[in-house]
């Protein structure tokens, strides 16, 4: 268990000033929401962050007969960053992968229960799975830029099927790169291969790629576990900026990270939801003994 990360040091806070451009300067446009087939697709969505609320109702997820997530009911508030902590194999990632329906891609995997995005059940048979993923983006553990694509093509990969013009794509790509705090570092090498960036840059490229599609929710599955402390810090700062525009759910093994970035923390154990509450409460004064033991390093 890498629940403690001794290499994290507060010294790094002072270096690497982030790009000064305000990432939220021109984000006033609307975007299509997930829609039920046959109903009007684009509902004007205000940026007041009253959208992007996720609610899990009695969610269970299986790999074959193995029940990895057990009857979890939980809400993710659009205005807050939620961290999910718990020992390896406790179902954190699986639960998160149910939110954008990536779980069912695995052979033999299935789920029960409901996942509501702003009241709409994402598992309704009329819901299109591709549309779900455009509304609920995801960043993975290891940076996975498309190796055949340039930096800019990576960012626009998810957008190109909308038939947007080249100029529009460039604008959206720039906006996403600024949003991911990567613009200043890559603006002179947009045509270079995305795989040529450093690990931390690659991960922010993946965040930019996810942001470019303009999702309501951004799922981050241990986004820093393959990164060094400096790159980790940048991503954490980024999370703080991004929570204004997307609901963020972050799975992490690193409890300090949860304490730093999250407003709400969820503790899971053996597929079950043990406790959910404000982050400082979970870490200082949890209700459940198991939570206390875990956050104090007594097991896991």
Partner 1 sequence: MSHALLMDRGNLKRRNRISKVVGGASTIAALLAVAVLLIVVGSVLLKGIGALSLHFLTTPTALFGESGGGISNAIVGTGIMVGLAALMAIPVGLLVAIYTTEFASTRLAHPIRFVLDLLNGVPTIITGIFVYGLLVAGKHQSGFAASVALAIIMLPIVARTAQEVLTLVPGTLKEAAHALGIAPWRATMRVTLPTAAGGLLTGALLAVARVAGETAPLILLSSIFSPGVRTEPGEALASIPIFIFQSSESPSPEAHTQAWAAALILIAFVLVLNIVARVFYARSRKRMGA
Q: Does 142 bind partner 1 (CB under 8 A)?
A: yes
Q: Which two tokens stand for residue 164?
A: 């947007």
Residue with tokens 């403690």: 4
- How many whole angstroms separate alpha carbon 145 and alpha carbon 246? 21
237 contact partners, CB below 8 Å, separation of at least 6: 18, 181
Contacts with partner 1 by CB under 8 A: the residue count is 27
Q: Which stretch binds partner 1 (CB under 8 A): 47-55, 118-126, 131-139, 176-184?
A: 131-139
Identify which of residues 162 and 287 has a Cβ nearer to partner 1 in the complex.
Answer: 162
Q: Which two tokens stand for residue 66?
A: 């193995």
Q: Does 131 bind partner 1 (CB under 8 A)?
A: yes
Q: Which stretch binds partner 1 (CB under 8 A): 7-15, 66-74, 129-137, 163-171?
A: 129-137
- Contact criterion met (CB below 8 Å) for 201 and 234: no
Q: Does 147 bind partner 1 (CB under 8 A)?
A: yes
- How many whole angstroms separate alpha carbon 287 and alpha carbon 280? 12
Beta bridge partners of 121: 116
- Among 238, 220, 205, which residue's Cα sits nearest to residue 23? 238
Q: How far is the CB of 265 from partner 1 (least distance, A)?
A: 24
Binders of partner 1 in range 79-118 (CB under 8 A):
100, 102, 105, 107
Identify which of residues 116 and 149 has a Cβ nearer to partner 1 in the complex.
Answer: 149
Q: Does 209 bind partner 1 (CB under 8 A)?
A: yes
Kind of pairing, strands 66-76 and 136-139?
A: unpaired
Among 91, 137, 200, 271, interactor with partner 1 by CB under 8 A: 137
Q: Name the site residues for partner 1 (rule: CB under 8 A).
A: 100, 102, 105, 107, 130-135, 137-138, 140, 142, 144, 146-149, 157-158, 160-161, 206, 209-210, 213
């Amino acid at each position: 268990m890498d629940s403690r990360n001794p290499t994290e040091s507060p010294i790094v806070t002072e270096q690497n000033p982030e790009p000064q451009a305000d990432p939220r300067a021109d984000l006033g446009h609307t975007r299509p929401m997930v829609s039920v087939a046959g109903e009007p697709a684009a509902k004007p969505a205000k940026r007041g962050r009253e959208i992007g609320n996720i609610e899990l109702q009695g969610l269970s997820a299986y790999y074959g007969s193995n029940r990895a997530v057990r009857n979890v009911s939980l809400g993710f508030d659009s205005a807050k960053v939620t961290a999910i902590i718990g020992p390896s194999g406790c179902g954190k990632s699986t639960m998160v992968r149910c939110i954008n329906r990536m779980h069912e891609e695995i052979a033999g995997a299935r789920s029960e229960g409901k996942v509501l995005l702003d009241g709409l059940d994402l598992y309704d048979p009329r819901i299109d799975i591709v549309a779900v993923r455009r509304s609920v983006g995801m960043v993975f553990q290891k940076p996975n830029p498309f190796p055949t694509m340039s930096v800019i093509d990576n960012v626009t990969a998810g957008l190109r099927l909308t038939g947007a013009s080249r100029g529009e794509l460039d604008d959206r790509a720039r906006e996403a790169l600024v949003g991911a705090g990567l613009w200043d570092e890559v603006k002179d090498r947009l045509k270079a291969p995305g795989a040529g960036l450093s690990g931390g840059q690659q991960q922010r490229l993946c965040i930019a790629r996810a942001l470019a599609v303009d999702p309501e929710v951004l799922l981050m599955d241990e986004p820093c576990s393959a990164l060094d402390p400096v790159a980790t810090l940048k991503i954490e700062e980024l999370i703080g900026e991004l929570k204004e525009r997307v609901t963020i759910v972050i799975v992490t093994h690193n409890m300090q990270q949860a304490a730093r970035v999250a407003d709400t923390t969820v503790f899971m154990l053996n597929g079950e939801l043990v406790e959910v509450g404000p982050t400082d409460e979970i870490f200082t004064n949890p209700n459940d003994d198991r939570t206390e033991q875990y956050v104090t390093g007594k097991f896991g």
